[in-house]
């Protein structure tokens, strides 16, 4: 064998060093890719007129995305009247309405959860990221939310809602049931926070309905205000609403 063709000690050492560096850098690269997949959503966000049209009977539900109702939902809608709306007893809005209400929202991200604090109705939603699952006692007005990060977005699924006579929105008299499932995908575009929300409820909807909206950064120095709904004051205005029932 030609001795000059044998690998030198220096060659073996170089190969070993390269292999060692590759092993050491692999966790760093994985950590960097994981961090890149987690968007920075934290902050105080304005969901009012600076960000989007104010909600109404046809916003965000337009003729193009208005939910397809079944006969049960239509029957509820036909008998509904404003004076029975739970908001006049200070019952908070739930998904999919609370995300579109024209108020501010604060997002706080922790390793095991994301918290959404809504100025409207003083509501706090917790999205669990640690794999926990809801129990039978976890039904509530805001439901039970779990989530995960993927491709630079936060994905949220919420179940375990209570029945709500105006659980779809505050304007159209469409209820929602304990079978309601709301999914959300949050992501950043420039400085703005966006969400696509989809609601399913086989008790009242023939097919899923969805909307996409955004929040803009709150003005510097803004602080969430207390909503302070007073049941007596809230119910006082109801006497001015005419009833279609005698």
Q: Tell me the pLDDT band of 29, cut-offs 50, 70 and 90.
A: very low
Residue 179: is its pLDDT beyond 70?
A: yes
Tell me what percent of the residues of the chain surpass a pLDDT of 90.
Answer: 76
| pLDDT of residue 169 exceeding 50 | yes
Q: Is the pLDDT of residue 17 over 50?
A: no
pLDDT of residue 239: 83
What is the mean pLDDT of the segment spanning 191-215? 98
Residue 171 has pLDDT above 70, yes or no: yes
Q: What is the pTM of this model?
A: 0.84
Q: Is the pLDDT of residue 108 over 60?
A: yes
Which band of pLDDT confidence, cut at 50, 70 and 90, is reported for residue 244? confident
End-to-end CA gap in the chain: 110
What Å distances lie between residue 23 and 11, 13, 16, 20, 26, CA to CA? 19, 15, 11, 5, 5
Contact between 40 and 188 under an 8 Å Cβ cutoff? The reply is yes
Dihedral, 80, 83, 85, 86 alpha carbons, nearest 10: -140
How confident is the prediction for the chain on average, in pLDDT? 89
Q: What is the pLDDT of residue 13?
A: 46
Q: How far apart are CA 59 and CA 45, in angstroms?
A: 20
Which of the four pLDDT bands, split at 50, 70 and 90, describes residue 6?
low
pLDDT in tens, 32-51: 456 668 999 999 999 999 99
Label residue 69 by pLDDT band (50, 70, 90).
Answer: very high
Read off the pLDDT of each residue in 184-213 and give the average, rounded to a whole number: 98
pLDDT at site 34:
62
């Amino acid at each position: 064998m030609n001795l000059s063709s044998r690998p030198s000690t220096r060659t073996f050492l170089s190969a070993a060093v390269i292999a060692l560096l590759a092993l050491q850098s692999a966790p760093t690269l994985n950590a960097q890719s994981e961090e890149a997949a987690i968007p920075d959503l934290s902050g105080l966000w304005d969901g009012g007129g600076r960000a989007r049209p104010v909600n109404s009977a046809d916003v965000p539900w337009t003729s193009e995305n208005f939910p397809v109702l079944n006969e049960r939902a239509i029957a509820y809608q036909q008998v509904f009247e404003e004076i029975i709306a739970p908001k006049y007893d200070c019952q908070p809005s739930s998904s999919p309405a609370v995300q579109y209400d024209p108020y501010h929202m604060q997002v706080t991200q922790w390793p095991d959860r994301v918290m959404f604090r809504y100025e409207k109705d003083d509501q706090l939603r917790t999205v669990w990221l640690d794999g926990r699952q809801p129990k039978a006692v976890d039904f509530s007005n805001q439901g039970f939310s779990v989530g995960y990060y993927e491709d630079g977005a936060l994905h949220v699924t919420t179940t375990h809602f209570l029945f709500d006579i105006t659980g779809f929105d505050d304007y159209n008299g469409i209820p929602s049931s304990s079978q309601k499932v709301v999914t959300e995908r949050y992501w950043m575009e420039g400085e703005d926070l966006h969400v696509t929300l989809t609601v399913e409820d086989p008790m009242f909807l023939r097919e899923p309905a969805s909307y996409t909206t955004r929040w803009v950064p709150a003005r510097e120095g803004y602080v969430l205000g207390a909503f302070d709904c007073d049941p007596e004051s809230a119910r006082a205005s109801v006497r001015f609403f005419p009833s279609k029932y005698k």
